Structure 1
Amino acid sequence: MEEEVAQDTLTEISTGHSSSVHQAKEFTKAMAIGVLADFADGRNTQTEKMVVTRDFDLIKNNLSFKLPNKILFDIFFEIRQDLTDFLRKKLHNSDIQIDATITAEETKAKPRTEQEKFESMAEKNPSIWKLKEALGLDLLF
């Protein structure tokens, strides 16, 4: 009789263990963007919304957010677990992982002198160089 009880317990344990479902449904970047928008709608602060609406790279089940500064990076780590749980639930994929990197955005200085302003305009429209030459204009004063 003791053997039967031991066998039933093992069966229940193994049955209980195999009943847990490991979800790994595939998803696209567009689907992830939609879920992130839903998550952003439920957030209280504008900065949290900014974090989850930033651009990210999707490689398999890994989302890597590109954040421009340390402030957003710190906020990301405050909401990371909630965001991960939300994505896993909504996208039906328990393998989803998220991380973030700080990507310093290059800022170009505004043109200050007349020469710099002209060169900036000429970058956008190269025909300005031809017009300057045709009219024989000199930008140096």
Structure 2
Amino acid sequence: MDLKLEAIVLPVSDVDRAKRFYEAAGFRLDVDNTFSDEYRLVHMTPPGSQCSIIFGKGTISTAPGTVQGLYLIVADVEKAREELVGRGVGMSEVFHDAGGLLHHGHEGGEAVHRGAGQERIEGPEPGRTSYASYATFSDPDGNGWLLQEITERLPGR
């Protein structure tokens, strides 16, 4: 059985501001429909992704900025960060995790590490091991994104 993630709904406070932000970040606009004064739906897709984001007016009751830990997979985190910064997206510096391959948390565009011995270290992971280098950003409402460098998938993934 295939289970394919199609879309993630993001809570935003200003639809036009969010649309401008994601367009500047390079997301493709798929749909922008206003159905009534109370319902507008914007559907956008990150470059190279099969999963999209949806936001708008009347699309979700969650408070704006409460979605965290959205992963965008990139082949080169430094180049991806550089491109996004060039597009006007405020980004963290590239970092890696001293405690292993997987990131331990994300809040408000910044990495949050939990547990003894977990430490965020500036720069990409020295061996450029897949799953080990990151950069973060948030949209204007604070929904948090994480770039994760993956050049080779682990077996079974």
Name the TM tier (shorter chain): under 0.3
**Which one has the bigger helix percentage?**
1
**Which one has the bigger strand percentage?**
2
Rg larger for: 1
- TM-score (ref. length: structure 2): 0.26
